Amino acid sequence: MGASAAKTVEQIEAVFQQYWGGHYEVVKTFFGEARPREQLIAWLELQLYKEIHVVPIKAREILEMYERLDVDLERGEFESECYELADEVQHYRLLADVLEMITGQRRSALVYEPTPEQLELEGVRRKYAAAGPFARSVGGFSPGGGTAFAAAGCLIDGGPIERQLAQAFEVIYRQELQHYNKNRFVFDRRAADADPADLHEALAYAQELARQHFLLRNSSFGYPLSAERIAQIEAGQVTPYAPPQIY
């Protein structure tokens, strides 16, 4: 890896860890005081959308991968994608159980809808969908934000709903951490062979993706962090969150 690529990797890692510290703070702040149940329900509804709407997309990708299995696709890669799909379904089930416990109602998985902030995040991903391999691999950092948010969620306490939610967060934390480390391995491998012309685009993608993902996290919990605090985090006044390495 050249000096320029190594510096870009450091910058990308730093910008994500900065905003992941914000993810952690959002969850810690939200659950740090009593909140109206309506706020918790609103977050659960959006999170359920995030978990379940990727299922048909990933299922189609897996079917396409199946056609290439043991031809130009390694078994391990196919297995990993199947497990990741199963993890998303498990996250959905765990959180849907909590929502049903709160509301006493079971709802169709198709009724959950994205917020404007979620759509903006999806727009950032589409913007860089045709980028080079190294820049596209930046998208694999997203589970780091899930790791940070779930790490804070594991610490919540309270009544039966809070305890069941904390147990769900523990499962989500372990799986998001695995996803992040797997994706980070791919990113580091591509960084070693990155075209110097792709470095600037990769850093720009990281800055946009990390920021929008953080803003979505704050909005999904009903804005527990003020606009002033958001500006401070954007300026780097936050404790960075670095997911543990497991490989």
* pTM (2 d.p.): 0.92
User: Among 105-119, 182-196, 222-236, which is the least confidently predicted range?
Assistant: 182-196
Beta bridge partners of residue 73, listed in sequence order: 69
- The string of pLDDT tens digits covering residues 117-144 is 999 999 999 999 999 999 999 999 999 9
> pLDDT tens-digit profile of 17-62?
999 999 999 999 999 998 899 999 999 999 999 999 999 999 999 9
Average pLDDT over all residues of the chain: 94
Query: Across residues 146-159, what is the average pLDDT?
Result: 95
Token pair in block for residue 123: 């727009």
Fill in the DSSP letter of residue 225. Answer: S
Phi, psi of 194 (to 5 degrees): -65, 140
Instruction: Give, for 17, the enclosing helix (H) or strand (E).
Output: helix 3-30
164-177 pLDDT per residue, tens: 999 999 999 999 99
What are the CB-based long-range contacts (under 8 Å, 24+) for 80-85?
Answer: 80/182, 84/58, 84/179, 85/55, 85/58, 85/59
Q: How confident is the model at residue 87 (pLDDT cuts 50, 70, 90)?
A: very high
**Contact (Cβ atoms closer than 8 angstroms) between residue 92 and residue 52:** yes
Segment 215-236 mean pLDDT? 97
pLDDT of residue 1: 56
More confident residue, 192 or 110: 110
Mean pLDDT lowest among 74-78, 147-151, 203-207, 231-235: 74-78
Residue spans per domain, the chain: 3-234
The pLDDT assigned to 73 comes to 87
Question: Residue 247: which pLDDT band, with cuts at 50, 70 and 90?
Answer: low
The answer on pLDDT for 149 being more than 60 is: yes
> What pLDDT is recorded for position 2?
64
Q: CA angle, corner 81, sides to 112 and 194, nearest 5?
A: 110
Please measure the distance between the N-terminal and C-terminal CA atoms of the chain and give it in whole angstroms.
Answer: 20
**CATH C-level class of 3-234:** mainly alpha
pLDDT for 161 beyond 80: yes
